[in-house]
Structure 1
Amino acid sequence: MDLITPSLGLIFWQLVFFLLLVFVLGKYAWRPILSSLNEREKSIEDAIELAKKTRNEMAQLKADNDRAKADAIIERDAILKQARQTAEKMIATAKNEAAQEAKAEIEKARKTFREEQAAAVAKLKGETSKIALEIAEKVLRRELSDKTSQEALVNDWLKDAKLN
């Protein structure tokens, strides 16, 4: 049983060594360990706080990016709409100008046609008159080859002419 029950001297010396160990550890080990643990805890809290702050900033940046993207889409749509309107105006203007130019060309062609037609009619009249005179001259020469037929023709013309 002596092995199971410790003696009073052994307990005293164990207590002295234990207190000495607690004092030495308290003076040289626990303060640095506790201070490093406190520093570690503080750095972890700072890291967590930084992570929260970064998460909030990222959420804010994402919201800003989404807003900027939406604004860019709206602006793009407005620019495309304006470009379409401008293109439609340009096409309408070009169509109107082309129609006016075509109308002017048609009118010019009609005028040229009328002028050429009038010239052709005048030329045709001149040619017809010339041919008619030549035919009349030939007919008159043949019929008026003698003096009696000439007098008869002049008398007929005088009868037809009404004198006032």
Structure 2
Amino acid sequence: MKHYRLSWMMALLAAITFALPLAGFSAAPKGASMTDTTHASGAAGGADTAVDTGAGHAGGGHGAAPLLPSTAHEAQEFFLTPAIWTIVIFLIMLIILYPMAWKPVLAGLKAREKRIRDDIAGAEASRKRAEATLQEYDAKLASAQSQIREMLAKAQADGEQLATSIRMTAQKEAEEAKDRAMREIDASKNAAVGEIYNQAAELATNIASKILRRNLNADDQKQLVRESLDQLQTIK
């Protein structure tokens, strides 16, 4: 509503400013005709005056030319100039409409400038908040990446440690199994050798007792040896 009223006032000012000089233009020919009539009358009167004052010019010299009519005519033409009326009317309308038109215009310009400054300040604040948020996000991302690298390094170290422990445990168990097998083999071997020794000693004792109980010829000795060997094969 204020903008509509302001536009209407400015249009009225422009219309009045351009209308009054046109009125001055229309009034100018009348002034010119009156001036021409005055000039004609002045010319006639001048002729009569020249006749009346001829003797005066001849006897007393030249008289002073009248300046007031010419000065009044120039002043009248000056004030009837459209440019002068345009300037005067514009200044009058400017003084009249200044409280109603220019003050609202200036107030609107100041309000618009304030709004633009507020928008710029708001945009700057938003930009700073966005930069702060971005920096915070970058910091969190860097921290997360560091934590991920630490977790991966720890997992790799734990995996290597577990693999080393498994290899050492397997190697230890293999060595223990080997030692147990060797001990069992040695024990079995010793038991077998001891059994063989016992059987051989028993066989030798039997052979000796048989030899002592009877007199043996060569064939009996051979037969006794064969029987002893057969018994030894049976023990194995």
Specify if TM > 0.5: yes
Where does residue 62 of structure 1 map in the other structure?
134
Deviation at 1:28, TM superposition (A): 4.3
Please tell me whether residue 140 in structure 1 is matched to residue 226 in structure 2.
Answer: no
Alpha-carbon distance in structure 2 between the residues aligned to 1:27 and 1:43: 23
Per-residue CA deviation, residues 106-153 of structure 1 (Å, 9 max, x unaligned), is: 11111111111111222222333344445x26963895269xxxxxxx
Q: Percent identity?
A: 24
Go from structure 1 to structure 2 and tell me whether the alpha carbon gap of 1:124 and 1:145 turns closer, same or farther (over 3 Å shift): closer
Deviation at 1:79, TM superposition (A): 2.5
Q: Secondary structure at the match of 1:107?
A: helix
Deviation at 1:71, TM superposition (A): 3.1
1:116-127 mapped onto 2 (5 Å cutoff): 116-127=188-199
TM-score normalised by the chain length of structure 2: 0.46
Where does residue 161 of structure 1 map in the other structure?
none
Unpaired stretches in structure 1, ≥5 consecutive residues = 147-164
Go from structure 1 to structure 2 and tell me whether the alpha carbon gap of 1:73 and 1:110 turns closer, same or farther (over 3 Å shift): same
Larger-gyration structure (1/2): 2
1:8-23 mapped onto 2 (5 Å cutoff): 19=92, 23=96
Per-residue CA deviation, residues 60-110 of structure 1 (Å, 9 max, x unaligned), is: 332333333233323322222222222222222222222222222211111
Where does residue 101 of structure 1 map in the other structure?
173
Q: Secondary structure at the match of 1:127?
A: helix
Q: Give the counterpart of 2:116 among 39, 44, 48.
A: 44
**Greater shift after overlay, 65-74 or 15-24?**
15-24
Deviation at 1:46, TM superposition (A): 1.0
Where does residue 80 of structure 1 map in the other structure?
152
TM-score normalised by the chain length of structure 1: 0.61
Instruction: Give the paired residue count.
Output: 141
Alpha-carbon distance in structure 2 between the residues aligned to 1:91 and 1:74: 26
Alpha-carbon distance in structure 2 between the residues aligned to 1:81 and 1:39: 62
1 or 2 for the larger relative contact order (CA 8 Å, sep ≥6)? 2
Q: Secondary structure at the match of 1:71?
A: helix
Alpha-carbon distance in structure 2 between the residues aligned to 1:83 and 1:138: 79
